[in-house]
A and B are shown apart, each in its own frame.
Chain A
């Protein structure tokens, strides 16, 4: 397929690049893993096949051959040859058809899966684009006008045409309460500071991308316990001896920053908690200037939330397999 217009930021992503955190390599991969996986299943792909992740303003794409595709995630009013295309549904395109997107009206990131997946050479086990060092995806960068992407072969896509996901199983991107397991270096906060952090309303700043979401809100420096700084940390109250940052963790660097899938893997700022994994998907659909609140949960709640999300995904996957007769043989 051919890119007629790259949109704002469109990259090739999959489930991520794992096993290299110890050399400073973040996982990259789809910011909203739920939407990415469902898009793939809708066209009969494996969840690990590569999709296009489009941010705020989608791309314009011309299909070079007959293709089954599905769009999930943010609503960018997609149209195929000027005809409206339903989200969360497998759709047939013919050779020469043009798929176009507008500015997102709900959510931030849309995923386009094509039957057979975007078939480019994986780098370190993944096709995900990591633009900072220019690896993965198409030449390690966002897509631009004139780029062409090869599509893999598919055997069961035609049976999927017209299948869609129950509305009950589609995520609600209007939710802005983000569940967090407090911890990591939260001992650096005073009790009062911890309470104020949880009670505050945090506004997503303009700096919100695949690397991290920076928030505006109350001053954080007076939330910290004063101490004689340990050797090697540096003198600021928010400094610690440089340590590893989990994806989804909240780093207190001037203001809170939630580290996303292309984030730095470590550093010397205090981290005070980690967003539970299902809510990393939801946060990646929150928009600049949205206000979010943090809800502190314990590890059992966090594991229950993950199980619930996994069950929903499993239910979707099973129901799509039932819809597709070719997988019964």
Chain B
């Protein structure tokens, strides 16, 4: 797989949309790509730092972003003019950022998500198989093991935090032809265990709290991505673990290791394995597999 590249995506013309009288939604592209995501990150970071008065919320999403503002201070059309100018100015290959790379242990095919999966077979495309079996098959893998090896085999970029506090949407850092893609449930489940690792569209999600969900379920991590009371040391600055632009590497673990890590998390002694790196889009685009290997070397 030497020197395979990430093909740069030509983005469609962005759509600027009014969300009632106090939101502006900008869809940079209908399809997911690193170009669309990095552009959303760059524009929202710039507007957050140097934007006009009247901004209330600035939130990047996967291939789009969302801004809430006070229309008494800022007219939506003036905001849109400013966003259009930024869109013209920003070149994502020049845009670099400091990211953290986290190792997230995952117990794939665990008993808790398996039970949930079996409880909701009537809402699934293929009631006769598990979510893992179905996803492996439609993505052309010979076995569930090969599918899991692929999912944990290359890191994932956190491209959006949302749905509920601390839920990361992660996009695997591989060329398009190696990306996994799966449908969401035909009808969302009413239950998902906390810390379940799911997949929908082209995104891995980690559910911070129990609740509804529509993603295919593959496993469960013993570590938290949301710590409301900020008792774990990795949450000193924020109640959520990763930010958009951070990177996650999933590591396969078994039941014994799951239980042991869980004990440490529950007594607040767990130390997350993470490091800081400077992420350079251009270097990643040119040689993603080589770049990912370098990234993973900085983890303990």
Contacts and interface: CB of A to CB of B under 8 A. Distances in A.
Nearest to A298: B18
B277 interface: no
A222 interface: no
A133 B209 contact: yes
Contact of A268 (B60, B184, B187): B184
A233 interface: yes
Interface string B224-242: 0010100000000011100
Contacts of A20: 57, 165
Interface in A210-251: 230-236, 239-249
Interface stretch (B63-71, B89-97, B246-254, B280-288): B63-71
Contact of A19 (B56, B64, B163, B184): B56
Given A183-B18, A276-B21, A299-B21, A21 B57 contact: yes
Given A22-B59, A254-B187, A305 B65 contact: no
B57 A274 contact: no
B299 interface: no
Interface stretch (A86-94, A142-150, A197-205, A259-267): A259-267
Interface stretch (B29-37, B101-109, B129-137): B29-37
Given A24-B165, A310-B72, A244 B59 contact: yes
B238 A23 contact: yes
Contacts of B32: 230-233, 241
B147 interface: no
Nearest to B212: A264
Nearest to B164: A24
A253 B17 CA distance: 20
B21 A305 contact: yes
Interface in B140-171: 160-167, 169, 171
Given A132-B164, A181-B18, A277-B22, A234 B200 contact: yes
B124 to A, nearest CB: 13
Interface in B68-114: 68, 71-72, 75-77
Contacts of B56: 18-19
A266 B165 CA distance: 10
Which of B162, B208, B214 has the most C-beta atoms of chain A within 10 angstroms of its own C-beta?
A: B162
A24 B240 contact: yes
A161 interface: no
Contacts of B226: 133
A232 B187 contact: no
Contact of A274 (B20, B58, B164, B243): B20
Nearest to B176: A231
A267 to B, nearest CB: 6
A265 B244 contact: no
Interface in B157-211: 160-167, 169, 171, 176, 179, 181-184, 186-188, 200-203, 208-209, 211
Nearest to B58: A22
A135 interface: yes
26 contacts: A22-B44, A22-B59, A22-B161, A22-B244, A23-B239, A23-B243, A24-B161, A24-B240, A132-B164, A133-B165, A185-B17, A232-B31, A241-B30, A241-B62, A241-B63, A241-B202, A242-B62, A242-B160, A244-B25, A249-B20, A253-B188, A266-B163, A268-B201, A268-B214, A276-B21, A302-B21
Interface of B: 15, 17-23, 25, 27, 29-33, 44, 56-66, 68, 71-72, 75-77, 160-167, 169, 171, 176, 179, 181-184, 186-188, 200-203, 208-209, 211, 214, 226, 228, 238-240, 243-244
